[in-house]
Amino acid sequence: MPGPVDILRHADAASLAEATAGRIVATILDRQMSGAIPSLCLTGGGIGTAVLAALAQSPARDSIDWSRIEIWWGDERFVPAGSPERNETGARTALLDHVPVDPNRVHAVPTPLECGDDAADSAARYAEALLAWGGQHPSIDIMLLGIGPDAHVASLFPEMPALHDTRFVCAVHGSPKPPPTRVTLTMPIIQLAREVWILASGAEKAGAVALALMPGAGTFQVPAAGARGRERTLFLIDEAAAGQLPADLGRPSA
């Protein structure tokens, strides 16, 4: 049974990115002070990368012990290492190259060169890494997910086979958004996360946000409707992305 869903509205993309960065710092510090090694699953896209850049610039950044945090990705474009299309590349440029992470705790999706240009092999290797880290039920502390105008999350696009996949990671071929070949976490592991944070900025995301929050929405048609954390799900959105929600749904971010 998933935890409650909370909607936090922000004035604009900049305030959304800054507030989300602060929320990441607070959550990681809380976990570290309890003696745990927290885990953070990153997302790409405009707002996902803006959050990482805001985190890199945050005055509270250095309060985190970056050597004691596990970094994962929700999905990856199956393109060569260093490609600007890779979410890993954007994350390193925005944040990871600026903080003292432990390279052994940064879990990038295997590249085409590492697995014989076989996306299925990349997915299998990533699943093995998750199982080696978290056992049979790996639970990531903070799962950051963007949402597309079609309500996709990670590389789980509406009405595509990956939404039925019971493995934790799978390859995606024929993605409706280029590049066509990707590796993605699937719904089973997303739903094992302690907290899922769905980020949305801009009016083009308003319809998808409304669909994802609609009671009874089906995951096959609206993937974001199935992206729910065990303990809590946060929709972290700006006012443009909230444009199709009732005015009294959600609350302003503190």
pLDDT score of 202 more than 80: yes
In tens, the pLDDT along 172-189 reads 999 999 999 999 999 999
- 103 prior amide bond cis, ω within 30: no
* Burial bucket for residue 35 (CB in 10 Å: 0-12, 13-18, 19+): exposed
Give the DSSP H/E element, type plus range, for residue 126: helix 119-134
User: Radius of gyration (Cα) for the chain, nearest Å?
Assistant: 17
pLDDT at res. 253: 65
Amino acid at the residue 252: P
Q: How far is CA 143 from CA 119, 132, 182, 195, in A?
A: 22, 18, 18, 6
The one-letter amino acid at 34: S
What's the one-letter identity of residue 241?
Answer: A
Let me know: does 195 contact 229? Beta carbons within 8 Å. Answer: yes
With cut-offs at 50, 70 and 90, classify the pLDDT of residue 1: confident
Residue pLDDT, tens place only, 5-37: 999 999 999 999 999 999 999 999 999 999 999
215 by DSSP, 3-state: which?
A: coil
Q: Which helix (H) or strand (E) holds 32?
A: helix 13-33
Amino acid at site 175: S
pLDDT at 254 over 80: no
Letter string b/e over residues 130-151, b meaning 16 or more CB atoms within 10 A of that residue's CB: beeebeeebbbbbbbbbbbebb
Over 80: is that where the pLDDT of 216 sits? Answer: yes
pLDDT tens per residue, range 63-85: 999 999 999 999 999 999 999 99
DSSP code of 166? Answer: -
Give the integer Cα–Cα distance in Å for 208 and 200: 9
Helices (H), 158-205: 187-190
Report how far residue 71's alpha carbon sits from residue 52's, in angstroms, rounded to the nearest whole number.
12
pLDDT for 168: 98
Sign of the Cα pseudo-torsion (157, 179, 44, 185, in order): positive
Q: 6-58+67-212+238-245: which CATH number, 3.30.565.40, 3.40.50.1820, 3.40.50.1360, 1.10.10.10?
A: 3.40.50.1360
Poorest-pLDDT segment among 76-80, 121-125, 151-155, 245-249:
245-249
Q: What is the pLDDT of residue 60?
A: 95
pLDDT above 80 (res 226): yes
DSSP state of 111: P
Does residue 45 register a pLDDT over 90?
A: yes
Q: pLDDT, tens digit, for every residue of 158-175?
A: 999 999 999 999 999 999
Kindly give, in sequence order, each residue whose CB lies less than 8 Å from that of residue 132, ignoring residues fewer than 6 positions away: none
Residue 158 near residue 150, CB atoms below 8 Å: yes
Report the percent of the chain where pLDDT is more than 70.
99
